[in-house]
Structures are given as structure tokens and as C-alpha cells.
Chain A
Amino acid sequence: MRGCYRTYCFVVLIGAALFLGAAMEKGADGPTPYTLSYPAYFGNRINTTQDNLLTVEGIGLGRRLFYEKRLSANNRISCGSCHQQAHAFADDRAFSLGFDQTPTRRNSMSLTNLLWVRHFFWDGRASSLEVQAITPMTDSHEMGQPLDSSVRKLQAVAGYASLFAAAFGSDTITAGRIIKAITQFERTLISDHSPYDGYIRGEYRPTAAELRGIALFFTNNGPNGGVGGDARGIRGAGCGNCHSGPKVFNETYHNNGLDSIPPDNGRSAITGMDYDRGRFRVVTLRNIALTAPYMHDGRFKTLQEVIDHYSEHIRASPTLSPSLKDTANTPVNLRLTSEEKTDLLAFLRMLTDSVFITDPRFADPNDNSKK
């Protein structure tokens, strides 16, 4: 009996020690788990990692770091310099300028709905957001600063130690934690309040032009690629083949007929495969009206120019997307009427989410007007 009592005490003590240990490690009020919220029609094929679970404190720190100019070599630019909220976290230049005013090689990509992206950059070379984030921070012509320098600079700033402690349980600032916090913040950049979302939810009544644009955008093009060949006689531009579903996104790579000889090899530089020449990742069209100029090299200044490209200027090449040519391998221009172009534009503008671009949770915390 006495032995039993001893065992009982021992178990209780061990249990208490374990509990206290856990509490101390986590901190009395450890990071608060954050539950992502998004519409069911986006689906749950999301890209998260058990190594970087989202917390309220981690996201808060990540937001501050996203706008932290000390993360660049001369303290002049932050992630938010080339990924501006007003432009759906892209910018308005063909090529962004790095800390040393050197233009980037490709157009700044919008950070909209990254949760559903599995491979990052125009060529898909980074298989996680965590891997992606390191490149612009350390590239010698973007933010231009090794991560250990960023750690040292943040260590010298009052307040960061406690923010890291709140987010990660201890006040140690590491390169890994900087990356984790920034990517936690980026995963929260979900755009789901556009008029098109309102339409899907039955809360917004589209105009006649918008409805025609929706139909034209999502209806398959004809068997030979042209806009008018649908078996039912319904005109379809087939845009939704690549910009699919409510996310207007499908993670695939296509050569969309910009050049006969692509000056930028795109994905083939990563894979070494001939068939990937001139292929780039399909982007989401959410907030597309805010992210001009367009394409990986920013060659089109307006959405009108983009539509004109698919309508009249597709260039033949061996790797041209099968979606843009007929069964005889001839490029197919959509030959849209001017009214159809206007209708497509009306639909594309429905994808602009004014809530997203003014959401104070995503704004620069140093900008008092947006707090």
C-alpha cells in the first residue's frame, strides 16, 4: 500500500514537472495558434508546413519584418517596397529596383492567395514559401543582405527580442525565425472579397457585361482553339483552362506565345528540358487590374494589351502551349470582337478586391494612417 502511495506521488511529481517544463518552454502565455479562414470554394489544397504553424504573434512579427527596411543592405527597401498592398502586393514597374537601384530580372509577382501556390517564382524553382523568401532578401541586387547581417541588425533594435519571444517562445533572433515569421504573414494574404466572390456567394448581381465576360472567360474554346468553335455554338475564350475556377489559378507552366524565340528561357533553365523553353508559371488573375504591367517581363502596360495579345498576336514556337494552338500545331488567335474584349475586361475588373488592398491587418505597421 505504502509502495503504491510512493508510486502515486512519483507519478504526480513527474507529471507536474513535465507540465511546468512545457509551460516554461512555451511561456506562460505562449504564441496563440492562428486559424486561417477562406471560402470553401477555394478548396483545401493549401501549402503549409508543420515546421511553421501560424500563430497570431508570428504573423504580427512577420508583418513588421515584411515592412522592415533594415533587412536591406542600405536600409532603404523592404519586402513591401516591391510588393505594395495598393498593387495587391506587386508593384507598378516592369522590373522592380533593388536596394542599389538595379532592376530585377523579372516582374514582381503579386502576393495574392499564396496559400494555394506550391512552387514559387515565375519558373517555379522554389518548392516552399520559406525557400522563396531567402532569395529576394539575400540576392546581391535585390535586398542585398546576408541573413546573418539581418539578424545582427535586428538584435540592435529595441523591441524585436520581445516580439521574437512572443512568436517563438524565446527571444533569440535567428535567420530561420525571420523567414518563418515573414512567410506566416504572407500566408494570411488571402483575397476573397472581390465582386466576383460576391457573385459566387450570391451577394452581388453582375452587370450584363460582367456576366458575358464570365461566360466568355470560362467557356472552353473550340476544338481548334478559336473562340467560335464550341460544339454548341457558344463562343468561348478558354481562359479558364489555365486560370481555373474561383481562384482563377492553376499551378501549371505554359509558353503563352509571347515570342518565337524566347529571350528568357523560363522554366527550362531550371529543368534543363527543351520542352520547358519559354514556359512560365500561370499566375492568379485575382486583383489583376492592380498589378500592371503584365507578363514575366512586364511587356504589356495594360490589360487591354494582354487581351489583344491572346486575340491577335500569339507567336508560334515549338513549345507554344497546346491550349493556344490547333491540332495541326498552328497558333490560334482568339479573334475577339471589341465588345467581347470589353466584356472580358469587365470580368477581370470584378476580381479587384478593395477590402484586401485596404485591410489594416496587411498594412505597413509603421504607417500611422493605416493602423
Chain B
Amino acid sequence: MKKIALSLAIVFWASSAWAQAAATVKVVGEVLTPLTLTAADLAAMPRTTASAKDKQGVSHSFSGVAIAEIFNKAGVTAGKQLRGENLAKYLLVTCADGYQVVFSLAELDSSFTDRVAILADQEEGKPLSASTGPFRLIVPGEKKPARNCFQVTTLAIRFAKE
């Protein structure tokens, strides 16, 4: 009896720990409107595609929402506003495993570059794999895939303050 009770307790504990929280991407920092984007939010936004090579050099097609579109929704300085002190702003991307990468805002802005970085939620028309999704950054044209980071959780816009 004791064993059964213990087993039930373990199952209850395990399942309660597994009450799955919904994955989101937070957009915070130097924004006019902080966002917490869900999968449904991204699905409802204008969609675009981007391709990137994996570690073996094989190209894959991803779809999602352009970072510029997310910036527009959050009110991040872009285009003509991206001048003066705003050029000292950067994007800090944080992923679920603690991995972090940085971009200057100019690296992602259409007035500076033609490449369109996206927050992808699909690869080859299917949801991203469990180990890379649900949200992955895809930056076309990079020689190394190190900034195409997995399981993005936060996009933080910051000022370099030195």
C-alpha cells in the first residue's frame, strides 16, 4: 500500500512538473511595446522564408516572421530612425539553454543590408524539431551557423552604454 501511495505521489509529482508551459518569445528592452509572442501570434503575422546551411553544408528552407516585422510591432528604431545614438543599440538573443548571441541593429535593418533574418517556426514546411524549436533564429548568408540559434526565448534590445 505504501509503495502504491509512493508511486502515485511520484507520478503526480512528475506530471505536475510536466504541466507544460507554452513556449514564448519575449521582446524587451529599448522597445515602445514589450511583447510576449506565442506560436499563434507568429502564425498571424506576415510570413517570410529564409534558407540556411546546416553543419554538413546542406541548405534548408525555413519559414517564420522577419525580425524587422517583430521590431516594427514592438517599436524598435529602424530605417530612418536608425541613426545617431540608435546605431549604438544591439539585439541580444537569449536561448533556452542559456546560449546568447548579439547583433548590432544595423546588421538586421533593410536600410543597411539586403539579408532578411527571421524568427523561424517551420523547417521545410513542418514545425521545427524538438531540439531546435519551437522558435529558431535564421540569419541567411552567415559563413558559420553559430548565430542561427535554437529555442529562442528572448530578444532584448539594449544600448551599448560606454
Q: Is A252 an interface residue (CB 8 A)?
A: yes
Q: Are B98 and A269 neighbours in the complex by a CB distance under 8 Å?
A: no
Please give me the residue from chain B that is nearest to A265 by CB atom.
B17
Q: Is A322 an interface residue (CB 8 A)?
A: yes
Given A320-B131, A327-B56, check contact A273 B98 (CB 8 Å). no
Contact pick for B97, options A265, A279, A325, A329, CB 8 Å: A279
B: number of interface residues (CB 8 Å): 22
Q: Are B20 and A274 neighbours in the complex by a CB distance under 8 Å?
A: yes
Q: Is A271 an interface residue (CB 8 A)?
A: yes
Q: Is B1 an interface residue (CB 8 A)?
A: no
Q: Are B21 and A327 neighbours in the complex by a CB distance under 8 Å?
A: no
Q: Are B98 and A124 neighbours in the complex by a CB distance under 8 Å?
A: yes
Q: Which residues of A lie under 8 Å from residue B57 when comparing CB positions?
A: 223
CA distance A318 to B20 in the complex (A): 15
Q: Are B97 and A252 neighbours in the complex by a CB distance under 8 Å?
A: yes
Q: Which residues of B lie under 8 Å from residue A319 when comparing CB positions?
A: 130-131
Q: In whole Å, how far is B79's beta carbon from the nearest beta carbon of chain A?
A: 32
Q: Is A251 an interface residue (CB 8 A)?
A: yes
Q: Which residues of B lie under 8 Å from residue A268 when comparing CB positions?
A: 17-18
With a 10 A CB-CB cut-off, give which of A273, A275, A320 has the most chain B CB atoms. Answer: A275
CA distance A265 to B16 in the complex (A): 12
Please give me the residue from chain A that is nearest to B134 by CB atom.
A275
CA distance A318 to B130 in the complex (A): 7
Given A319-B130, A322-B132, check contact A272 B97 (CB 8 Å). no
CA distance A284 to B58 in the complex (A): 34
Q: How large is the interface on A (under 10, 10 to 19, 20 to 34, 35 or more residues)?
A: 20 to 34
B135-152 with Cβ < 8 A to chain A: 150-151
Q: Are A275 and B98 neighbours in the complex by a CB distance under 8 Å?
A: no
Please give me the residue from chain A that is nearest to B58 by CB atom.
A327
Q: Which residues of B lie under 8 Å from residue A310 when comparing CB positions?
A: none
Q: Which residues of A lie under 8 Å from residue B132 when comparing CB positions?
A: 322
CA distance A279 to B18 in the complex (A): 14
Q: Which residues of B lie under 8 Å from residue A119 when comparing CB positions?
A: 98
A selection of 28 A-B contacts at a CB cut-off of 8 Å is A119-B98, A223-B57, A224-B55, A252-B97, A252-B98, A252-B99, A253-B97, A253-B98, A265-B17, A265-B18, A268-B17, A268-B18, A272-B19, A272-B20, A272-B21, A273-B20, A273-B21, A273-B96, A274-B130, A275-B96, A276-B96, A318-B131, A319-B130, A320-B131, A321-B97, A322-B132, A327-B54, A327-B55
Contacts A281-B98, A322-B150 known; 13 new A-B pairs at CB < 8 A:
A223-B54, A223-B57, A224-B55, A252-B99, A254-B97, A272-B21, A275-B130, A275-B151, A318-B130, A319-B130, A319-B131, A320-B131, A327-B54
- The residues of A with any CB-CB pair to B shorter than 8 Å are 119, 124, 223-224, 251-254, 265, 268-269, 271-276, 279, 281, 318-322, 325, 327, 329
